[in-house]
Chain A
Amino acid sequence: MKLKLASAAIGALLAASPALADLVFPDLSYRTGPFAAGGIPFSDGYQDYFTLVNERDGGIGGVKARVIECETAYNTEKGVECYEATKGEGALIYQPLSTGITYQLIPKVSADKIPLHTMGYGRTSATNGRVFEWVFNYPANYWDAASVAINYLLDENGGSLEGKKIALLYHNSAYGKEPIPTLEALAAKHGYSLSLLPVDSPGQEQKSQWLQIRRERPDVVLMWGWGVMNQVAVQEAANIRFPMENFIGNWWAGAEHDVTPAGMAANGYKSLNMNRIADFPVFEDIRTHVHGKGLAAGDGSNVGKVLYTRGMYAAMLAVEAAKKAQETHGTANITAAMMRDGMEALEMTSEMMEALGAPGIGPEFSVSCEAHGGSGMGIVQQWNAAEGRWIALTDYIAPDQDVIAPLVEQDSMAYASENNLSLRCE
């Protein structure tokens, strides 16, 4: 039986051998499991944009982009399998959309020399390019998110959070634990008290946490949730009649599908966002060139949604980095190492975003050898249940780099000394 399995697997592998001379962008997506609600629109947006570039512009610099989709179900073991299965095909960049898989891949991509882009998730201290050569997390990361949320609250409360009670409701995993050091440092600085409420994965059981919130009556609840956990949290908050305007999710807890199950009760729920949502002209192109030709990824119903927009934005940044790499190296057929150079030289300006048909989709930022993290800015948006859409409340808010920079330095240096890395860019 083992022999049969082996020979069949070899056959399966050989049959799927690649057509060369494409630019390969693996998409480690998850369309199944408890996190699929977030994984599907992100992956649809990611793939649709590459299809658009192929159909409308004839590829990136004349070379077609090829997306290889691999289902991870947000599971690290499957994520490793996907990584191993796709890296040999000439993968240029990995975007796993999972902090757990990111931690898995950071040492692997560093050894295999393939860039890893974790947009607004993953290991925060990877923003230090002196230590993390192959990992990028522009335009923003979790510690930025935590600080943006606190800065927003400072603004709301006349510049002082003295004596306020803030609760952090978080997914009990690497993802949810990431913001804690920053929130603690900020608590020391601004004088609020922080209570931590972990929710075990996948997050369907939150009764006891909300009971605690009802008892402690925090002024604000921040949430680091994903997948099914968000919907349950919003519903539970509605059940205990927690004032929704004091409930703020991070940017992975602020999509349409997170709030619609609670209906009108979700009205007023706030969340962060790292990209704007609007009816960008690029969506029209996607409808004409991709969906019109029947090439849509998924069922094509997600265009313009929060996570679709973010997935498309991720692809857009990858395409721009690839163009930059083609420009600097003077060849259209770039390798993963060249892609990394392109990412490190990436600069997103308003004019570029305008030209791409997505004006103001993200903040302006530039990447350098030292700084892999972008500007770190985010907006706060609020759910309007009657109209069924998110409304931006603020412009891009800058995080408090005075607090974040030392934390990044400390954590990345610890990684460098653990792994005997010498610092770059010097």
Chain B
Amino acid sequence: MFYREAGDFKTSYRDDSQTFPIRFDRYRYYAVLVVALAVVPFFIDSYWANALLVPFLIYAIAAIGLNILTGYCGQVSLGTGGFMAVGAYACYKLMTAFPDVNIVLHIIAAGGITAAVGVLFGLPSLRIKGFYLAVATLAAQFFLVWLFNKVPWFYNYSASGQISAPERTVFGIAVTGPNTEAWAKYLVCLLFVVVLAWVARNLTRGSIGRSWMAIRDMDIAAEIIGVNPLKAKLTAFAVSSFYIGIAGALFFAVYLGAVEVGEAFGIQKSFLILFMIIIGGLGSIFGSFAGAAFLVLLPVLLKNVLVGTLGWPTDLAAHIELMIVGALIIVFLIAEPHGIAQLWRIAKEKLRLWPFPH
């Protein structure tokens, strides 16, 4: 009944190859965009922004970034936290060095710097693969965190080693700093997400994305048919790090406002984002969103239900919450190893035939 292509005629190749070829799906997508852009900002309060939606959107960007590298190009990376730290510190240095430049440009530049660092650490991927590459990127993670702790220039010689975001504005509206309105924070992150997700979707179905997937599926075969592994792998590292750098910059500047590198961008962050894309679905943009939602929103929801509604002690709730999330991860991965994105695909197939499956 839903998601049916009956009566949905295409008259050009262009129409045929669009992202949402089914009309119902396309309208659903537009509806989500309209609600997110034009309805939510009017109702959002600071709890919803700071505790739920802003972290969800930022983690979604990071997950898309890692998904490009791991899901599309097949290069396992455990350096995500370190690359986010590069984005955050680059953004901080730029914000404090050039206070008059628009913060959006700083965030994009921070992404660019992270891309350069990512390419540098991506060079070993030309020689090593799989688990060994994961260990090499793990080295990047530890090196970068150590670097930002060790060299005081990165945190402007502050006594505590913390970096904190001063107030910066876009069109006269504060988007960083303590006086930021909830809707401004949300909208900035949302616009980055919409643009970056759109770019990622189009990159991955273009020639560059196809070369990534060729490398992922079998690198030797890809090389034989003329895919340049140097170019494919390094562009994947660059684009992925660009996304992760932007996520790191937003995480620091817009979401938290003050971070210390070991706590905010440690190895657990790398694992968290890797889990997001595994649970959400490798090689899927929607999967990145689903995984981010699963690991950001579910714990908060469980906490609110267990402590707020049921009145359990907070420590018991915190432990039970870990168990529930852990159990759900196992259930999801057993039920569908390809993640939530695959479940969604199957659900769409079923809905298409429902209620007459024969």
Which residues of A pack against B, CB within 8 Å?
A: 1-2, 5, 8-9, 11-13, 15-16, 29, 31-32, 36, 40, 69-71, 73, 75-77, 80-81, 84-85, 88, 99-100, 103-104, 106-108, 110-111, 123-125, 172-174, 177-178, 180-181, 198, 200-201, 411, 418-419
Contact = CB atoms under 8 A, between A and B. Distances in A.
B161 A107 contact: no
A76 B264 CA distance: 8
Contact of B166 (A31, A81, A200, A419): A419
Most chain B C-beta atoms within 10 Å of own C-beta, residue among A15, A88, A103, A110 = A103
B314 A70 contact: yes
Contact of B318 (A32, A107, A178): A32
17 contacts: A5-B293, A8-B305, A15-B309, A73-B318, A75-B263, A80-B51, A84-B51, A85-B47, A100-B162, A104-B257, A111-B179, A123-B160, A173-B260, A174-B162, A201-B262, A411-B159, A419-B166
Contacts of B256: 76-77, 80, 104
B55 to A, nearest CB: 7
B301 interface: yes
A9 B258 contact: no
B305 A12 contact: yes
Contacts of B308: 12-13, 15-16
Given A2-B293, A84-B46, A201-B262, A174 B161 contact: yes
B149 interface: yes
A77 B149 contact: no
4 smallest CB-CB distances across A and B, nearest first, come from A31-B315, A16-B308, A107-B178, A12-B304
Contacts of B301: 5, 8-9, 12
B55 A110 contact: no
Interface in B196-234: none
B274 to A, nearest CB: 17
B184 to A, nearest CB: 13
Contact of A99 (B51, B160, B266): B160
* B-side interface mostly: helix
Given A12-B301, A81-B300, A84-B50, A32 B315 contact: yes
Nearest to A88: B47
Contacts of A99: 160
B319 interface: yes
Contacts of A73: 318
A9 B304 contact: yes
A111 B290 CA distance: 33
Contacts of B318: 31-32, 71, 73
Contacts, number: 123
A13 B304 CA distance: 7
B300 to A, nearest CB: 6
Nearest to B343: A1
Given A31-B318, A177-B159, A419-B167, A201 B263 contact: yes
A5 B294 CA distance: 10
Contacts of A8: 301, 305
Contact of B260 (A5, A100, A180, A411): A100
A246 B354 CA distance: 76
B329 interface: no
Interface in B254-300: 256-260, 262-264, 266, 290, 293, 297-298, 300
B177 interface: yes
Contacts of B177: 107
B262 A110 contact: no
Interface of B: 46-47, 50-52, 55, 149, 159-162, 164, 166-167, 177-179, 256-260, 262-264, 266, 290, 293, 297-298, 300-301, 303-305, 307-309, 313-315, 317-319
Given A76-B259, A80-B50, A71 B309 contact: no
Nearest to B145: A200
A178 B160 contact: yes
Given A2-B293, A77-B256, A81-B51, A200 B262 contact: yes
A178 B260 CA distance: 13
B348 to A, nearest CB: 13
Contact of B314 (A31, A123, A124, A180): A31
A76 B255 CA distance: 11
A104 B286 CA distance: 32
A103 B263 CA distance: 13
Given A13-B304, A103-B258, A110-B178, A71 B161 contact: no
Contacts of A177: 159-161
A77 B54 CA distance: 12
Contact of A12 (B46, B179, B309): B309
Contact of A107 (B46, B258, B293, B315): B258
A103 B160 contact: yes
Q: Which of the listed residues B46, B55, B260, B298 has the most CB atoms from chain A within 10 Å of its own CB?
A: B260
A5 B298 contact: yes
Contacts of B162: 100, 103, 174
Contacts of A70: 307, 314
B167 A172 contact: no
Contacts of B315: 31-32, 36, 40, 71
Contacts of B46: 84
Given A108-B257, A177-B161, A9 B300 contact: yes
Contacts of A173: 161, 260, 262-263
Contacts of A11: 309
Nearest to A70: B314
B33 to A, nearest CB: 14
Contact of A16 (B166, B257, B262, B304): B304
Nearest to B49: A84
Nearest to B53: A6
